[in-house]
A = this chain, B = another copy of it.
Amino acid sequence: MTADLARFSINQMTVKQLSLPELVTACTDLGVPGVGLWREPVQQYGVAAAAGLVRDAGLTVTTLCRGGFLTAIDPAERAAALADNRAAVDEAVTLGTDTLVLVSGGLPAGSKDLQGARERIADALAELAPYAGERGVRLAIEPLHPMFAADRCVVSTLTQALDLAERFPAEQVGVAVDTYHIWWDDQAPAQVARAGAGGRIHTFQLADWTTPLPAGVLNGRGQIGDGSVDMREWRERVDAVGYAGRPIEVEIFNEELWARDGVEVLRETAERFVRYAV
């Protein structure tokens, strides 16, 4: 591993064309020290087996993605979501990561009540946060770009994420700072400082903003350096408020990257990380 990659973590979704063993081998070969894992491929491989594979390779699991989807009004749906999130916490424990990323959920069908949905997230966190904290897992509320507010995540800004997180102890609930979602927001730098001061930056993730966006907009994130985000400026910003030395995940959803050789994409991503963020 080169010193420049010391903080680099590849989020599994960036190279989802790689199986978990392929990903682990590629990380070892390329000197990548960290991985962010996703529940679905990990469950498919077997959570305990995945944990062993990653541990034996000496990789750090920087986060598990993702819990959340906590906006349901229907009591049965809400109970199912809470149970699923407790399972996600347990999986995080098995995988040896201290951070579970939460995508909070969008508006229930037919609802136009953003504020009500945000309050239901707070209610759900009141049940989940102690459960996570007792197991040494921190929940990281990820504000998603406002274009996802209706259908994916009613928490759209770092301000809102912190307003939720600060109702709970920092060792239970913090935030995910992802450049893709917050780069446009002139209030985000001050909120990064607020998060850092409170010890609530539980993960820092990079993706670039490129246009035009594809249909559905979910898989339009750009490779580091291809877009409008000044990665180094954001890295320096989180480092200045207490994040220095901690892992930085690159998490990109992009059909073009997925269509290429996964090892080649991982190598390119590591190079871009060094060139634009270190």
Contact = CB atoms under 8 A, between A and B. Distances in A.
A107 to B, nearest CB: 6
Nearest to A151: B211
A245 interface: no
Contacts of A230: 112-113
A115 B186 contact: yes
Contacts of A112: 228-230
Contacts of A113: 230
Interface residue SS majority, chain A = loop
Contacts of A209: 149-150
Contacts of A159: 187
A200 interface: no
A234 to B, nearest CB: 10
A189 to B, nearest CB: 10
Contact of A213 (B111, B118, B156, B217): B217
A112 B184 CA distance: 10
A66 interface: no
A146 B183 CA distance: 9
A150 to B, nearest CB: 4
Interface of A: 107, 111-115, 118, 145-147, 149-151, 156-157, 159-160, 183-187, 209, 211-217, 227-230
Given A147-B213, A156-B184, 12 more contacts: A111-B228, A113-B230, A114-B183, A114-B184, A115-B186, A145-B147, A146-B146, A149-B183, A160-B186, A212-B217, A213-B216, A217-B217
